[in-house]
Amino acid sequence: MALIGANGSGKTTLLKLISTMLLPDQGQVIVNGSDTLRGPQRVRSSVGFAVAGERSFFPRLTARENLDFFAALDDVSTGQRKARIEFMLARTGLCDAADTLVMKFSAGMYQRLAIARALMKQPAVLLLDEPTRSLDPGVKADVWELVRELSAGGTTAVIATHSFQETAAVADSVAVLRRGELLDYREIKGLNAEDVGSLYFRGEWHAPMNDSEVVLEGCQ
């Protein structure tokens, strides 16, 4: 599912609510059957969050060391860890930079490492905050391919994005947010970027939602 909306519409806030970085003042966030207020640890075990921004790694550790550290905290078994790190480094195109200190990374490399980290624990729900913002077109296509593969394998992916192209490429549904409210939610499978863009700019995403509950496979 893609989340689209202007700056400040609440896309990242929604992702943070799902990941338990934020707790709701009212209402409930239920992820994979667990309430973020009553069972936050169960939620954390099933959610992987690739946060936007460059500052979420230990700068004096290498990419491989960072992944190894977070994998240990996410209960990835020691037997599987090494192979999974190598696989994720390969999938995100970071093999050549695996032993480089993270403080020397570019914005795009940080972005890819954040995706690799989020996928290390093979989460049931994957949250991606503007995952391709700083990536070049080739890597962007690889990330979209990866997301499509994960979705086909049963992972629920929620992507906050400003890109209609990205929305059309990876999402089968879209939620439109405005000033913290859900403006619309609909299936968009089969639409291309131009269709999504024209719907957005023509203001056709305005059907008021009486029932604010949106149910996905992994979260509601």
Residues of this chain that interact with another protein (CB under 8 A) are 13, 16, 19-23, 25, 41, 44-45, 47, 49, 51, 53-61, 65, 68-70, 72-75, 78, 101, 117, 121
Distance of CA 95 to the CA centre of its chain: 22
**Helix (H/G/I), strand (E/B), else coil: 78:** helix
Which of residues 26 and 212 has its CB atom nearest to another protein in the complex? 26
Which of residues 57 and 164 has its CB atom nearest to another protein in the complex? 57
37: exposed, middle or buried (C-beta count within 10 Å: 0-12, 13-18, 19+)? middle
Taking the C-alpha atoms of residue 4 and residue 1, their distance in angstroms, rounded to an integer, is 10
Which of residues 62 and 167 has its CB atom nearest to another protein in the complex? 62
Q: Which residues of 154-193 are buried (b: 16+ CB within 10 A; e: fewer)?
A: ebbbbbbbebbbbbbbbbeebbbbeeeebbbbeebeebee
**What's the min distance (Å) between Cβ of 194 and another protein?**
36
Strand (E) or helix (H) holding 50: strand 47-50
**What's the min distance (Å) between Cβ of 119 and another protein?**
14
**What's the min distance (Å) between Cβ of 196 and another protein?**
30
27: exposed, middle or buried (C-beta count within 10 Å: 0-12, 13-18, 19+)? exposed
Which of residues 13 and 173 has its CB atom nearest to another protein in the complex? 13
**What's the min distance (Å) between Cβ of 44 and another protein?**
5
Which of residues 65 and 86 has its CB atom nearest to another protein in the complex? 65
**What's the min distance (Å) between Cβ of 113 and another protein?**
12
